[in-house]
Structure 1
Amino acid sequence: MSPSTSQSASSTPPSRSNRNHTPESTPPMRKSRRYLFSVIAAVLLGSGITLAAAGPAQAHDDLLGSFPDADSTVAVSPDEITLSFSGELISDMQSAVIEVTAPGGENIATDAPTVSGTTITQHLEPNPPDGAFTVLWRVVSGDGHPISGEYTYTVEPIQSDASTPGAGATEQAPEPSITSAETTTNTGGSEPFGGVALLPILAVLTGVIILGAGFIVVFKVTRERRLRNEEAVDRQEQQDSERTSKDASHEK
């Protein structure tokens, strides 16, 4: 091989395709992958912790019983109704609402309900017509989450026995039952009142935001490292080219 051929071969710069295979570019790419995996693991861990913390917050108070009982029949219309819950209720006037709809469609609740610990009481108008009554209620449990539901009861006087004319048809009002009302619900989004459980939604949005930010950071870091590697390769090529030119000039 002639000297000119040797010089031209040695002065030929490495192709662009070989730059990605240089030893200098491999470690930063591995570091970028490790960084990406670390970000994803941190996001998944943070989302799991947030969802785990949100789970217990969804355990709201339950309706334990009522007077009159759900789906029960009483002989005399009560002067008030009482609801009993499993936990302390928030007692401000705007947090509790009870509507009692008579057979004619009118609301016979006379004033704002009274909250005392785990019990809420609603006074009613006297002497409403007999028939089926619907109770709609909404309260705020101790964790600050609204719960609501509804149930019905019926007022039907007891017919007097023919053998004892004039016998009173009154019946002593029973104590509030401790059994759960069948048609009540304790979900914040139930009708006619409702709230929205925001914690799971916020947890998902937080995870998405963190994940997106992590990908942006990884992309920028990887791009900057790639540019630095290419600049280093270009400088090395330029130095090799200058060195080759100097060697060629000395040989001449």
Structure 2
Amino acid sequence: MSARVRVLAVTMFAAVAALFGAGVAGAHAVVTASTPADGSSVAVGPEQAVITFNEPMQPSFATLTVVGPDGNLWSKGEPTVQGPSVSVPVGELGPTGVYTIAYRVTSADGHPVSGTRTFTLTEQGSGTPGARPGGDKADAEGGDSDGLPMWPFIVAGVLVFGGGLAFALRRPSGKS
């Protein structure tokens, strides 16, 4: 075998190994800590809820909320991303019970990471809750949402589909 053929064979083998041998990275960002700690009990709520990951997070599209046992939102404002930590102001909490910290962030490699952590408030607070997560009362009751209505798009889709079906099923003219 000539040197040229061996170099070509080694190059081809290296290319195939690089394409098929190196799989997608299996490691994704994982939570390393939270404030309050997951499953902990606290007498007074924290000033902010913090989730810390094993790698930096992208600042765009981060969500972090604290929802109380009453189903209301207790976090105040937008989340802040600083390196591997995502935080949101909480303020004084209200009813005793289990509070859920829900997060959805984008890791440095572009993968979304989401999950929940919980803590229990053991002493009643006097804080004021925010709205229920997921929209206002009008949205929950099917009222006006300031969005585009869907029915014109559905009607248009049915008409286009019906016209295409009629065109496809039409019989050819009687000419032979």
TM range (shorter): 0.5 to 0.7
Please report the TM-score for the alignment, with normalisation by the length of structure 2. Answer: 0.57
Tell me what 1:53 maps to.
22
Question: Does 2:20 correspond to 1:85?
Answer: no
What is the match of residue 101 of structure 1? 67
Rate the CA distance shift 1:152–1:53 in 2: closer, same or farther, 3 A: same
Structure 2 residue 39 is matched with structure 1 residue 71: yes
The equivalent residue for 1:124 is: 90
Pair 1:59–1:109, CA change in 2 (3 A): same
> Which structure dedicates a bigger proportion of its chain to helix?
1
Match of 2:102 among 123, 132, 136: 136
Secondary structure, counterpart of 2:114 in structure 1: strand
Number of residue pairs the alignment of both structures matches? 111
Say which SS state the counterpart of residue 57 (structure 2) adopts.
coil
Match of 2:115 in 1: 149
Letter in 2 for 1:69: A
User: Higher strand fraction: Structure 1 or Structure 2?
Assistant: 2
On the 8 A contact 2:104/2:113 being kept in 1, the answer is: yes
Q: Which runs of 5+ in 2 are unaligned?
A: 1-11, 125-176
2:74 partner letter: I
Distance in structure 1 (CA, Å) of the matches to 2:58 and 2:43: 33
TM-superposed deviation, 1:80: 0.9
1:121 is aligned with what amino acid?
Answer: S
- Larger relative contact order (Cα-Cα within 8 Å, sequence gap ≥ 6): 1
Q: Residues 51 and 157 from structure 1, CA distance in 2 versus in 1: closer, same or farther, beyond 3 angstroms?
A: farther
Q: CA deviation at 1:100?
A: 1.2
Name stretches of at least 5 consecutive residues in structure 1 with no aligned partner: 1-41, 159-252
Deviation readout 1:49-85 (Å, 9 max, x if unpaired):
44543422x3111110001011110110112111111
Aligned to 2:80: 114
RMSD of the TM alignment (CA)? 2.1
Larger radius of gyration: 1
Q: Would you say the 8 A contact 2:39–2:118 is kept in 1?
A: yes
Structure-2 separation of matches of 1:135 and 1:147 = 14
- Aligned equivalents of 1:123 and 1:115: distance in 2? 12
Q: Within 5 A, what are the aligned runs for 1:1-252?
A: 46=16, 49-56=18-25, 58-92=26-60, 94=61, 96-157=62-123
- Structure 1 residues 148 and 51: CA distance shift in structure 2, 3 A: farther
